[in-house]
Homo-oligomer: A and B are copies of this chain.
Amino acid sequence: MVITIGREFGSGGRELGRLLAEELGIDYYDKEIITEIAKHTELSEQYIKQVVEKNPHELFPISVAHTFSYIDAQSLQITRMIFMEQEKVIKEMAKASDCVIVGRCADYILQDFKPFKIFVYADMDSKVERCLKRNEKAEDMPRKKLIKKIKSIDKNRARYYNYYTGQKWGDILNYDICINTTNKDLKALAPHIAKMVKG
């Protein structure tokens, strides 16, 4: 049993993933993926995070010959290696045990495993509120700036996903179920979704 979770920033997708894993008594992977890649590659977690969260168009400029190329051949090679490693790590995790994997195009990478694919989303007010609750730093940020940040993170997630999968991030046809967490109690929701996954 493999569950993958795509999620809008601030929608509570990670929390829901953790609750689902607890409910089903299975493993949960999120930041652990970066840690694993670091172990395999001997690169720092910080560096890997930076690479995988970059805009893919920055990582692999399509028209290198026509524009100023600001990444040299070596760092391009490292970047490619990180992505291949990520794919390997995610597949190993899914092979090793039943698990919930959040983000990282896992739904696409694990398609042969026939995962149960969830997309978690919410309206902007609800996402702002969740960000304020879980991050004290966000409290000092003007609301407008916070909204801009949320949108920008999701834009990058969409770009990243679309680039690597050739699918459209958030397209409902790529998921088994899409859950709007606006005004929802995730703890109450998780047991029902867990049962749905078990079938």
Contact = CB atoms under 8 A, between A and B. Distances in A.
Interface of A: 119, 121, 123, 170, 172-173, 175-180, 184-185, 188-189, 192-193, 195-196, 199
A67 to B, nearest CB: 36
Contact of A178 (B177, B184, B189, B195): B177
Nearest to A114: B183
Nearest to A197: B192
B179 A188 contact: no
A11 to B, nearest CB: 11
11 contacts: A119-B172, A121-B172, A121-B173, A172-B180, A173-B180, A177-B180, A178-B178, A185-B199, A192-B196, A195-B195, A196-B196
B172 A178 contact: yes
Contacts of A176: 179-180, 184
Contacts of A119: 172
Given A192-B192, A195-B192, A196-B189, A172 B172 contact: yes
A3 to B, nearest CB: 14
Contacts of A179: 176-177
Nearest to A194: B192
Given A121-B172, A176-B180, A180-B175, A199 B188 contact: yes
Contacts of A184: 176
Contacts of A177: 177-180
A3 B56 CA distance: 41
